[in-house]
């Protein structure tokens, strides 16, 4: 299990997971298609590591996946590769069906064929760790208890429906074919190296540029937040110590209304970057603009993380407040990273 294949490794969560796994004695085979959200800059600090290998490949490509398994001989995999932006799924769902459903199916089949070739300890220890999202449960009433691992699925967007479909495939391959699988489910993540289309970096960069900060509807939608490095430690814990066939919620209990999050970011920028405001602007909050709500916008997501805490002794290190401040400070201190994305220069490296 110390040779781990990580799909979506050049993404936000994937790159954090790679750095976490390399702190142990694991060897990482990092696979990424390098779509618009894949950024090799996010892996620059580990590219030369002697226990790291990067392979550019599409999980939908069955031949490529089979070759990766046969040549790298991983002890298991953590599957993070996915299209993940709800707005994009509404505007164009086809990529979500292809990557999240067909890609997961293709990867399951490649893993099943590979697993059949293993013997003894290698066969017994192999596992397919699939990473899911709280959005598969649909929205919860404001006062309802958080979703547990047994809560029925009610996905409400093309994105969440595609992830729910992938979850069902993973469980079916376990029951029908005996493939050893494990599923983890997380809430919204925040932290370094998140693509600027997502809420928190979008608000930070809009504010620093003096642009309007768009808030859907009244901004009363509730989301749970998790620091990405906490998520990475949870994934490593679940992969190494979780029980096959189980689902684990990586819940931290940090629920906030979207408008609260935006206000908190503006206030942190007042604290750490007061001189970035455009002339004549008294407060970053003045940039907040309420826009038409997205279709089918879910009201609330929340996960009950009791099972993970009690069975695997994991808990997040960061509160919402400390996670958000660390995130804001990272973007303030790493302007070259996000400038490269905004200009499109990061795409040149992946084409080289």
**How far is it, in rounded angstroms, from Cα 4 to Cα 72?**
9
Model pLDDT for residues 240-274, shown as the tens digit of each residue: 999 999 999 999 789 999 999 999 999 999 999 99
Cβ-defined contacts of 57-60 (< 8 Å, 24+): 57/31, 57/32, 57/33, 58/33, 58/103, 59/7, 59/31, 59/33, 59/99, 59/103, 59/104, 59/106, 59/107, 60/98, 60/99, 60/102, 60/103, 60/106
Q: Examine the pLDDT at 184 and tell me if it is beyond 70.
A: yes
Coil, helix or strand for 247?
strand
Residue range of the domain that includes 63: 3-194+225-255+299-319
- Report whether 302 contacts 252 (CB < 8 A): no
Active site residues: 134-135, 159
**How far is it, in rounded angstroms, from Cα 235 to Cα 130?**
10
Residue 243 belongs to some domain of the structure? yes
Model pLDDT for residues 97-127, shown as the tens digit of each residue: 999 999 999 999 999 999 999 999 999 999 9
Q: Examine the pLDDT at 347 and tell me if it is beyond 80.
A: no
Q: Lowest-pLDDT range, 51-55, 208-212, 338-342? A: 338-342
Quickly count: other Cβ atoms within 10 Å of residue 2's Cβ: 15
Instruction: Report the number of distinct structural domains present in the chain.
Output: 1
Residue 337 belongs to some domain of the structure? no
Residue 126's CATH number: 3.40.50.720
Residue 186 belongs to some domain of the structure? yes
Model pLDDT for residues 142-172, shown as the tens digit of each residue: 999 999 999 999 999 999 999 999 999 999 9
Residue 269 belongs to some domain of the structure? no
Residue 44 belongs to some domain of the structure? yes
**How far is it, in rounded angstroms, from Cα 170 to Cα 165?**
9
Model pLDDT for residues 195-221, shown as the tens digit of each residue: 988 999 999 999 999 999 999 999 999
Task: Give me the pLDDT at residue 349, please.
Answer: 55
- Report whether 239 contacts 129 (CB < 8 A): yes
- Report whether 59 contacts 33 (CB < 8 A): yes
Task: Give me the pLDDT at residue 352, please.
Answer: 45
Where do the DSSP E strands lie in 250-313?
255-257, 288-291
Q: Examine the pLDDT at 232 and tell me if it is beyond 50.
A: yes
**How far is it, in rounded angstroms, from Cα 144 to Cα 122?**
43
Q: Examine the pLDDT at 342 and tell me if it is beyond 90.
A: no
Task: Give me the pLDDT at residue 348, please.
Answer: 57
Residue 351 belongs to some domain of the structure? no
Average pLDDT across the chain, whole number = 95
Residue 289 belongs to some domain of the structure? no
Residue 25 belongs to some domain of the structure? yes
pLDDT average, residue stretch 286-306 = 94
Task: Give me the pLDDT at residue 351, please.
Answer: 43
């Amino acid at each position: 299990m110390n040779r781990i294949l990580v799909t979506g490794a050049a993404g936000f969560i994937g790159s954090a997971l790679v750095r976490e796994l390399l702190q142990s004695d694991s060897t990482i085979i990092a696979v990424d298609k390098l779509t618009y959200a894949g950024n090799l800059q996010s892996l620059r600090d580990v590219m030369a590591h002697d226990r790291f290998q990067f392979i550019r490949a599409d999980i939908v490509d069955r031949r490529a996946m089979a070759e990766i398994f046969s040549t790298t001989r991983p002890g298991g995999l953590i599957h993070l590769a996915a299209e993940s932006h709800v707005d994009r799924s509404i505007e164009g769902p086809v990529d979500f069906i292809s990557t999240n459903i067909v890609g997961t199916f293709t990867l399951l089949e490649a893993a099943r064929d590979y697993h059949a070739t293993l013997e003894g300890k290698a066969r017994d220890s192999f596992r397919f760790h699939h990473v899911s999202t709280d959005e598969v449960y649909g929205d919860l009433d404001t006062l309802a208890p958080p979703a547990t691992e047994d809560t029925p699925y009610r996905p409400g967007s093309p994105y969440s429906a595609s992830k729910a479909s992938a979850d069902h495939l993973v469980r079916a391959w376990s029951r029908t074919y005996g493939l050893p699988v494990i599923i983890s489910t997380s809430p919204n993540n925040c932290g370094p190296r998140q693509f600027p289309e997502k809420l928190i970096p979008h608000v930070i960069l809009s504010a620093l540029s003096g642009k309007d900060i768009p808030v859907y509807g009244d901004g009363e939608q509730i989301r749970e937040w998790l620091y990405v490095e906490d998520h990475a430690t949870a994934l490593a814990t679940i992969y190494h110590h979780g029980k096959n066939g189980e689902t684990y919620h990586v819940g931290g209990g940090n629920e906030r209304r979207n408008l609260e999050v935006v206000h908190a970011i503006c206030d942190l920028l007042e604290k750490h970057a007061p001189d970035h405001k455009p002339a004549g602007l008294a407060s970053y909050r003045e940039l907040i603009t309420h826009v038409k709500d997205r279709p089918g916008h879910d009201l609330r997501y929340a996960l009950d993380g009791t099972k993970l805490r009690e069975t695997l002794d994991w808990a997040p290190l960061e509160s919402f407040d400390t996670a958000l401040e660390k995130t804001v400070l990272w973007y303030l201190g790493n302007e070259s990273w996000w400038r490269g994305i905004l200009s499109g220069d990061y795409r040149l490296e992946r084409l080289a």
